Structure 1
Amino acid sequence: MHLATIRLDHSTRAVRRDGDRLVDLGYPDVGAYFAAGTPDERAGASYPLDGADFAPVVPHPSKVICVGHNYQNHIKEMGREMPAYPTLFTKFADTLTGAFDDIEKPAETDALDWEVELVVVIGQEVRRADETQAKAAIAGFTVMNDISVRDWQFRTVEWTQGKIWEASTPVGPYLVTPDEVGGLAPALEVSTTVDGQVMQRDDTGTLLFDPVMLVQYVSTIITLRPGDLIATGTPAGVGHARDPKVYLVGGEEVTAAVEGIGACVNRIVKA
């Protein structure tokens, strides 16, 4: 099943893809649909897929947890040691944007970078999950491009200020349920292209910490609620690790894709 949140005039709606139509689920967004316990669809409208305006899959998650240093090749390119535990940082709802929205390059940086990520979407509340509970809590997966402002990120040893720029992080367009992508620890190709040039390519089977483990780990710290997002990290190929470094300057089309789930396709525009 493919779920999404679309924009309609001044509101949003949770929808399920059915061929070339998007069927209204009766809730304002996918997060609200999961919070209601994924009830049966209410009889209602459907909308054409063609021309749909996709909001972030979950526009207002209670939390967005991101994992750094989770692909071996990326850890090596950044000059880090293999971590014993997940490296976590957070984003805010205001950081998120739609899968096909333009992304404004902040005027304050000349070091804008890309990071494709597989994202876990939580479907039910869970705290201190064991393996069985963690599996049950995963509603599905989506795509994120963790656009990073590298010069601000590395001003200090703590990364947050380089990761939370307004409307900089596309998420979507769809949440895809685990049954359609090979289960809860799928081996899916992830890639980033910039103006058609492949910059990142790996597969999620090489994650150090898989989705189930991450739900267990994060839920030990804090309650995970329906619609919460866990971004599982990015593979090698980021612009900051290249020699010479390569950054987004404005005008590029960046595609962050995960096999079987979809892609965020965004134009970088100058402020």
Structure 2
Amino acid sequence: MRFANIGGRLAISTGGGYADVAAASGGQFGPAAMEGLENWSGLRAWADRQDAAALEPYLLEGSGEKGAVDLRIPVPEPRQVFAIGLNYRDHVAESGLTDPSTPAVFTKFPTCLAGPRDSVVLPPGSVDWEVELVVVIGRRGEHVSEGAAWSHVAGVMVGQDLSERQLQLAGPAPQFSLGKSFPGFGPIGPELVTVDELADPDDLALGCRLEDGDVLQSGRTRDLIFPVPELIARLSAVCPLLPGDLIFTGTPAGVGGGRKPPRFLRPGDVLVSWVEGVGTLRNRMVAAPASAGAADQHSRQVLDLTHTTH
């Protein structure tokens, strides 16, 4: 099954379009995407009983793709967004580091999330790409075993962990969360795809490219140093995982900062990101207004002052 956020309402793919879940269920489920995740077991049980092709689509695909409808963030208000750094050996190598013995965990603040077709305003600095498989938690879990981990997953999405490298790496204590949480720095989607749609959820091809250029990244999730079940087990051993929580699982080699010379995103670039069997994101980079650049410079000065006085 594939669920989407169409114009702010939870929808289920019918194969040729989307049906509104609230209408199709006779009001059993509300229209908000997050409501469906809070009652994920009920939503799945209802969806399993449906003949998707028989549902009345209220929006149809256009030109053979879902870009014609108002696709928004499939999981718009997660309470926790975890992200994993250095989780592919080839990316570790291009970063000049050694393989980690434990996952490098940080957070992306939820306000950074963006939709699968949204434009991203580039702040001053060096904005890099990082294509990732994003896992969506479907039911609360504490001390989840690796064997039970996938049963706690509602589905997966394509994600981009966009990163402004100057702020991310500034100071003796790198600012990973800040450098990766500008508005628009977490495009996800285009749909939430349940695991049973995938032949092998532990082995998916993923990559990204510039629309008018060559492939930038290409990898497979089988090469994760810490696979999805281990990440869920390790994270849930520290804090509860809640319905709707996101896990950005890491990126393979090919980031702009690892190139010689480095290459970062520019206004006008269209970044196309995909995961096999899951879907494709298409995000255009746009320049920040001049006033936003001045505000950003002021915030950098404040950060620098705080850093030098503590």
Q: TM-score range by the shorter chain?
A: over 0.9
Which protein has the bigger strand share? Answer: 1
Alpha-carbon shift at residue 44 of structure 1 (Å) = 8.0
Deviations along 1:112-148, one digit per CA (max 9) or x if unpaired, are 1100000111111111112343221011110101111
d(CA) in 1 for partners of 2:61, 2:76 = 19
Partner secondary structure for residue 173 of structure 1: strand
| Structure 1: unaligned runs, 5 residues or longer | none
Partner secondary structure for residue 251 of structure 1: coil
> Match for 1:227 among 227, 244, 247?
244
Q: What is the root-mean-square deviation of aligned Cα atoms in Å?
A: 1.7
TM-score, normalising length: structure 1 = 0.92
Partner secondary structure for residue 117 of structure 2: coil
d(CA) in 1 for partners of 2:12, 2:265 = 34
Q: Which residue of 2 aligns with 1:4?
A: 4
> Match for 2:11 among 12, 15, 31?
15
Deviations along 1:12-36, one digit per CA (max 9) or x if unpaired, are 1111111221111223343320212
Q: Is the 8 A contact 1:252 1:267 kept in 2?
A: yes
**How many aligned positions are there?**
264
Which range moved further: 130-139 or 82-91? Answer: 130-139
> Match for 1:153 among 168, 188, 192?
168
Deviations along 1:28-79, one digit per CA (max 9) or x if unpaired, are 3433202123332699873223321111110000111000000010000001
Alpha-carbon shift at residue 167 of structure 1 (Å) = 2.2
TM-score, normalising length: structure 2 = 0.81
Alpha-carbon shift at residue 196 of structure 1 (Å) = 3.1
Q: Which residue of 2 aligns with 1:244?
A: 261
> 1:115 aligned to 2:111?
no
Letter in 2 for 1:28: P
> Match for 2:208 among 162, 171, 192?
192
Q: Is the 8 A contact 2:17 2:57 kept in 1?
A: no
Which protein has the bigger helix share? Answer: 2
| Larger-Rg structure | 2
Alignment of 1:171-186 (within 5 A): 171-185=188-202
Partner secondary structure for residue 260 of structure 2: coil
Identity fraction in percent: 36
Letter in 2 for 1:193: R
Q: Is the 8 A contact 1:184 1:211 kept in 2?
A: no
Deviations along 1:138-196, one digit per CA (max 9) or x if unpaired, are 111101011110111110333112111012221000111112212442x1111110133
d(CA) in 1 for partners of 2:199, 2:9 = 28
Letter in 1 for 2:264: Y
Partner secondary structure for residue 28 of structure 1: coil
Alignment of 1:102-141 (within 5 A): 102-106=119-123, 108-109=124-125, 111-141=126-156
Q: Which residue of 1 aligns with 2:303?
A: none
Q: Is the 8 A contact 1:248 1:268 kept in 2?
A: yes
d(CA) in 2 for partners of 1:205, 1:255 = 22
Q: Which residue of 2 aligns with 1:24?
A: 20
